[in-house]
Amino acid sequence: MIDTHSHLFVEEFVEDLAEVIARAREIGVTKIFMPNIDDTTINDMLEVHRQYPDYCYPMLGFHPTSVDAQAMAKVKAMKSFLVDGHPYIAIGEVGLDLYWDKTYLKEQQQVLEEQIQWALEWDLPLVLHCRDAFPELFEVLRPYQRTSLKGVFHSFTGSVDEAMELVDYPNFMIGVNGVVTFKKSTLPDALKEVPLERLVLETDSPYLSPVPFRGKRNESAYVKRVAVKLAELYDREIGEVEQQTALNALKVFKISK
C-alpha cells in the first residue's frame, strides 16, 4: 500500500515518529507521500524526508487555507526550491477552500494558477484540495483538462455527479481516505461509478481517522482500514485493492517500485 497523503512533519508526530513509521511498515505501507502546507512547513517536512529518504517523499505547495492578501509573494518565492535535483515528487497540497472563509477566493485561484504552471513546467503531478469550492475549482482547471496536467483530487467526499466530473480528467486519480468508513458518509455511493483503476489510498493524517479510530490521531498504518472498505465496496480481494491502488499512485507520481 501507498499512503499518498500524510502530514508526518506536523507537531502531532514529533514525539513518536519512529513508532508511527514502524507501524506503517508492519501493516504493509511501502511509501508515504507528504504534502506541504505552506512556506513555514518546508524545513520540517524535508527533515522527515532526510530521516526516511526512501520512504517519506515530500511535495512542494501552498495550501489554500494559508492564502491571504500577501500569499502570492510567498508562493513566488517558494518556486526557487524547484531546482535541478530537487526532492519534490509533486506540487501539493494546493487548491481551493471556501469552507471557513470566502474572503480570499480570488487570491486562492491566483495562487492555484501559479502552482499549476509549476506542475506543467516541471512535469510534476498536482495534489488538489477542494472544500466547498467545486465550481470555482473547475473554473481554474477546465482549460487544462486535455493537457498533460496530472495529479490527484485529494480527499474526495463529493456527489456522484462530482465524481463523474473528476473522472473526466483522464490524468487524475481520486484520493480516498477514512471518510469512506464513516457511518453517514455518502462517499460509498459516489464511488460506485468510479473504477478502482482511478483511486489511490490516503490517510490525510493526523486528520480524518477511519472507523474505529474517529476522534483520535490518524496515522499511515490506518490506511489499511481504507483498503479494507474499498475491497468491500468493489467486491475485490484486499490484496487486489492494495496492489491496484499502489500501481495507480506510482503511475501518477512516477516513482519506481
List domains and CATH numbers for the chain: 2-253 (3.20.20.140)
Residues 69-88 pLDDT 10s = 999 999 999 999 999 999 99
> Is the pTM of the predicted complex or chain greater than 0.85?
yes
Query: What was the pLDDT predicted at 254?
Result: 81
pLDDT over threshold 70, residue 257: no
Q: What is the pLDDT of residue 255?
A: 81
Q: Is the pLDDT at 32 greater than 90, yes or no?
A: yes
Give the bridge partners for 149, in sequence order. none
Q: 71 to each of 15, 105, 111, 251, how far by Cα in Å? A: 31, 12, 8, 32
Predicted confidence (pLDDT) at residue 226 exceeds the cutoff of 90: yes
The C-alpha cell at 210 is: 477511519
